[in-house]
Amino acid sequence: MKVVRKICCGMDVHKDIIVATIASTDGNNVTTYLQKQFSTFNYDLLNLLNWLKQNNCYDVCMESTGKYWIPIFNVLETELNVFLTHPKYVKAIKGKKTDKKDSKWIADIFKHDLLKFSFIPPKHIRELREISRYRIKLVGMRSSEKNRYQNCLTVSNIGLGSVFSDPLGKSSRAVLEEVMHSDIITEENIKKLLLKSASKKSEQVMQAIQHSHIETDQRFKLEHAMKHLENLDKYIQDCEVEMIKRCAPFIDIVKHITQLPGISFVSAMIILSEIGIDMNQWASDKEVASWVGVTPQNNESANKKKSVRISKAGQYIKPILVQCALAAIKCNSEPYFKIKYNRIKKRRGNKKAIIAIARMLLVSIYHMVKTGENFNPSDYDSFKNPKQNQSKITTKQALEHLQSLGVDISQIQIPEIQQDS
Convert the pLDDT of each residue in 303-325 to its tens digit. 777 777 888 888 999 999 999 99
**pLDDT tens-digit series, residues 106-163:** 999 999 998 889 899 999 999 999 999 999 999 999 999 999 988 888 888 888 877 7
Architecture of domain 7-111: 2-Layer Sandwich (3.30)
Q: Is 10 left (phi over 0), alpha (psi -120 to 50) or beta?
A: beta
Q: Are 110 and 5 in contact (CB under 8 A)?
A: yes
Q: What integer pLDDT is reported at residue 421 of this predicted model? A: 46
Q: What integer pLDDT is reported at residue 288 of this predicted model? A: 94
Q: What integer pLDDT is reported at residue 420 of this predicted model? A: 47
* pTM to 2 decimal places: 0.81
For the chain, how long is the longest CA-to-CA vector?
100
| Distinct helix (H) and strand (E) counts, the chain | 18, 7
Q: What distance in Å separates the CA atoms of residue 103 and residue 19, rounded to the nearest whole number?
A: 6
3-state secondary structure 155-186: HCCCCHHHHCCCCCCHHHHHHHHHHHHCCCCC
Give the H/E segment covering residue 242.
Answer: helix 216-246
Q: Which residues of the chain have pLDDT under 50?
A: 389, 417-421
CATH for 125-248 is: 1.10.287
Give the H/E segment covering residue 395.
Answer: helix 395-404
Q: What integer pLDDT is reported at residue 416 of this predicted model? A: 59
Q: What integer pLDDT is reported at residue 8 of this predicted model? A: 94
Locate the domains of the chain by residue range: 7-111, 125-248, 250-381, 391-421
Q: What integer pLDDT is reported at residue 130 of this predicted model? A: 95
Q: What integer pLDDT is reported at residue 278 of this predicted model? A: 93
Q: What distance in Å separates the CA atoms of residue 332 and residue 225, rounded to the nearest whole number?
A: 37
Q: Are 84 and 69 in contact (CB under 8 A)?
A: yes
Q: Are 357 and 325 in contact (CB under 8 A)?
A: yes
